[in-house]
Amino acid sequence: MERLANITVTPLTPHVGAEIGNVDLTKPLAPEQVSGIKDALAKHGVIFFREQPIDLEMHRRFAMYFGELHIHVGGEGTASKPDEKYPEARRQHFDANSKRVSGEVWHTDQSCAAIPPMASILHQRIIPPDGGGDTLFASMYAAYDALSPRMKTFLSGLTATHDGAKLFDKGTKTVYPVSSHPIVAVHPWTGKKLLYVNRGQTTLIDDLPPDESAAILEFLFEHIECPEWQMRFHWREHSIAFWDNRCTQHRAIWDYWPNVRSGYRVQIKGTQPPIPATS
């Protein structure tokens, strides 16, 4: 266990994830608490808080300590809907009438945007009574580090196209953005290299023939999805997950139908496109 600005930080795996304690998110935070939480996020990629019965105003206040709020690039669909009062807050409610849940494949949030959201904060209010509904997270630092030197050299300087229509609800008429981002990016806080492609939204490697692009992307997707750099988070009522979209990916597990899982997600606006690695 670590201590940062009077909060406790308990790492959950060697590569990704930590649980934060000794903080009450129903109350305003002191600057040193915000700094400690930011440091923990930078180090662990995703951080978790337990027993935090926050309302939407508290949820938004917590997110705004770390930047401006982001509005989802998509419209209203069957999977999730923006709150009427706070459009930055997206209700994520799934029950016996749900045909699907958001994020059933590995992805990072809205990588199709020219400037993707920096981070996401999900608060679960209702949890399936029989368990289930876990979320998987993976470190893109560890995924990059595990590549061979020759593969790292090959990928350096390449870009890939990200298309939101690949992942988001096909039942809407929304036109989703399409953007090109570096395959190997550098995190602006840590300076560490990471992989920035995901099965949910990456459609092709730019400037490669389609068959070569498809083969290399499939290799990268399978590599990213290795369990060695993953963790699995078990939700409880009023748990919060706060993840950095720049260096992690996640996947929702829909194993609880017809039970209910319900909560809200708020996102923090990114300040720049993914930064290409220079060497």
Is 109 an active-site residue?
yes
Is 250 an active-site residue?
yes
Single-letter residue type at 166 = K
- Longest C-alpha distance within the chain, in Å? 54
Which is the catalytic residue, given 90, 250, 251, 261?
Answer: 250
Which is the catalytic residue, given 60, 70, 72, 107?
Answer: 107
CA distances from 266 to 70, 72, 119, 273, 276 (A): 8, 9, 9, 20, 27
Tally of residues, the chain: 279
Which is the catalytic residue, given 72, 199, 261, 265?
Answer: 265
Task: Give catalytic residues, as residue numbers.
Answer: 107, 109, 250, 265
